[in-house]
């Protein structure tokens, strides 16, 4: 690999530091007791400043693929996990999306979500926007909130016990978030089982572990340091493999692929070979136990990853449309 590509993450970490270190220190010094008992809040303040500097550029860089992924496929009630600043709202077709539910545990980002959503025609006042402050792994809290949340089409939505709430979401979206959530396979399986309707779509845009051994090796080297600078984001997760491998277990419940639930290592997830992915593939039983969770899968990779130079990208993206069985 070229030295410039090997050292690429250092540039990102340095930029993050220059954007976020001073304002984070200021915030901590202003109210030290607020952070003393909750050190995780420091990471949230830091990430809010990092994303204020990076978010628009990252969105701009992914605009073409997001247009292809989100606009034609997002319909009905949309749940965006790790919404960040709500950039996803830019790609929603307002005529086909009835409600934008932005799940973002970092409340420092909520004001921007509201602003982005408002520009796209979604507002809390008419029920077309809901902002949730929990983590994607907290399915119970998500269900509880959804069961109490009226939709624009059903303003008298009746509250029911969360565990009895049928799946309500038509489209689940993850853009650069499964790299960060804890226990991503379990989290996604739980969301797909409890929150996404049968026939509903999961739309994914994630940077993933490279299929190239030399690149993957450097991703694993950088991953621990990168995760400190970017709120737990792991650059060594084979999220594409995990999502494609989601299965319906013998009990009818959904499960992830075996061996992937270590916080860090993603050994054993394998890797999707080639750049074409699984174009329009109908899913049957596949290689593991149980049926695939998906009735239809379409995946593709960021352009250029199959070239010599492009293949050295440690942040190569994978995209996918997955239809729940
Ligand atoms: C790299 S940003 C991506 C934001 C947005 N999806 C976008 O593409 O612009 C990752 C986001 O995931 C959020 N996040 C972190 N932990 C999370 C969790 N456990 N559940 C859901 N979101 C989480 C972060 O706060 C951050 O906003």
In this predicted structure, the answer to whether residue 247 has a pLDDT above a threshold of 60 is: yes
Report how far ligand 1's centroid is from the alpha carbon of 156 (Å): 31
In this predicted structure, the answer to whether residue 287 has a pLDDT above a threshold of 60 is: no
What mean pLDDT is predicted for residues 4-32? 95
Report how far ligand 1's centroid is from the alpha carbon of 265 (Å): 20
Over its C-alpha atoms, the chain yields an Rg (Å, rounded) of 19
Report how far ligand 1's centroid is from the alpha carbon of 180 (Å): 7
Testing ligand 1's pocket by substitution, the residue of 82, 175, 184, 204 carrying the most ligand atoms inside 8 A of its CB is 82
Contact 142, 134 (CB under 8 A): yes
Give the strand pairing for 97-103 and 129-132. Answer: parallel
Half-sphere exposure of 170 (CA within 13 A, CB side): 13
Q: Is 282 helix (H, G, I), strand (E, B) or coil?
A: strand
Q: Atom 23 in ligand 1: which residue has the minimum CA distance?
A: 82
Residue 259 pLDDT level (bands cut at 50, 70, 90): very low
Is residue 86 in contact with ligand 1, taking CB distance under 6 Å? no
What mean pLDDT is predicted for residues 204-230? 96
State what percent of residues in the chain have pLDDT above 90.
73
**pLDDT digits over 73-123, tens only?**
999 999 999 999 999 999 999 999 999 999 999 999 999 999 999 999 999
In this predicted structure, the answer to whether residue 60 has a pLDDT above a threshold of 90 is: yes
Report how far ligand 1's centroid is from the alpha carbon of 316 (Å): 18
Residue 146 pLDDT level (bands cut at 50, 70, 90): confident
In this predicted structure, the answer to whether residue 250 has a pLDDT above a threshold of 60 is: no
Q: Which CATH class is domain 61-324?
A: alpha beta
Index of the ligand 1 atom closest to the CA of residue 106? 25
From 71-80, 91-100, 272-281, 314-323, the region with the lowest mean pLDDT = 272-281
Could you write out the DSSP letters of every residue in 141-178? HHHHHHHH--BTTBTT-----GGGPPP-EEEEEEES-T
Amino acid 268: pLDDT: 36
Is residue 135 in contact with ligand 1, taking CB distance under 6 Å? yes
Contact 305, 260 (CB under 8 A): no
What mean pLDDT is predicted for residues 56-70? 97
Q: Atom 12 in ligand 1: which residue has the minimum CA distance?
A: 82
Amino acid 285: pLDDT: 47
Report how far ligand 1's centroid is from the alpha carbon of 179 (Å): 9
Amino acid 159: pLDDT: 58
Residue 276 pLDDT level (bands cut at 50, 70, 90): very low
Contact 92, 129 (CB under 8 A): no
In this predicted structure, the answer to whether residue 303 has a pLDDT above a threshold of 80 is: yes
The residues spanned by each domain of the chain are 3-57, 61-324
Q: Atom 27 in ligand 1: which residue has the minimum CA distance?
A: 84
Is residue 323 in contact with ligand 1, taking CB distance under 6 Å? no
Is residue 116 in contact with ligand 1, taking CB distance under 6 Å? no
């Amino acid at each position: 690999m070229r030295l410039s590509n090997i050292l690429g993450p250092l540039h990102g970490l340095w930029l993050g530091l220059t954007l976020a270190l001073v304002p984070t220190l200021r915030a901590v010094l202003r109210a030290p007791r607020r952070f003393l008992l909750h050190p995780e809040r420091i990471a949230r303040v830091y990430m809010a400043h990092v994303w204020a500097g990076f978010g628009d550029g990252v969105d701009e860089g992914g605009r073409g693929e997001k247009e292809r992924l989100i606009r034609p496929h997002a319909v009905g009630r949309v749940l965006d996990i790790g919404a960040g600043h709500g950039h996803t709202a830019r790609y929603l077709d307002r005529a086909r999306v009835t409600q934008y539910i932005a799940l973002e545990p970092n409340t420092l980002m909520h004001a921007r979500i509201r602003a982005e959503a408002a520009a796209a025609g979604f507002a809390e006042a008419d029920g077309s926007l809901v902002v949730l402050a929990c983590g994607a792994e907290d399915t119970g809290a998500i269900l509880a909130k959804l069961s109490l949340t009226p939709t624009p089409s059903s303003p008298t939505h009746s509250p029911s016990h969360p565990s009895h709430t049928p799946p309500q979401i038509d489209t689940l979206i993850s853009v650069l978030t499964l790299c960060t959530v804890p226990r991503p396979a379990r989290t996604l399986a739980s969301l797909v089982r409890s929150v996404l309707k049968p026939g509903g779509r999961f739309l994914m845009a994630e940077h993933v572990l490279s299929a190239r051994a030399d690149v993957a090796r450097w991703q694993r080297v950088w991953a621990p340091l990168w995760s400190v600078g970017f709120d737990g984001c792991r650059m060594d997760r084979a999220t594409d493999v995990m999502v494609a491998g989601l299965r319906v277990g013998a009990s009818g419940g959904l499960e992830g692929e075996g061996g992937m639930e270590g916080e860090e290592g993603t050994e054993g997830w394998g890797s999707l070979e080639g750049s074409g992915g699984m174009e329009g593939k109908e899913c049957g039983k596949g290689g593991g136990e149980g049926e695939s969770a998906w009735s239809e899968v379409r995946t593709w990779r960021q352009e250029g990853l199959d070239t010599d130079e492009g293949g050295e990208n440690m942040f190569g993206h994978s995209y996918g449309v997955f239809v729940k069985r």
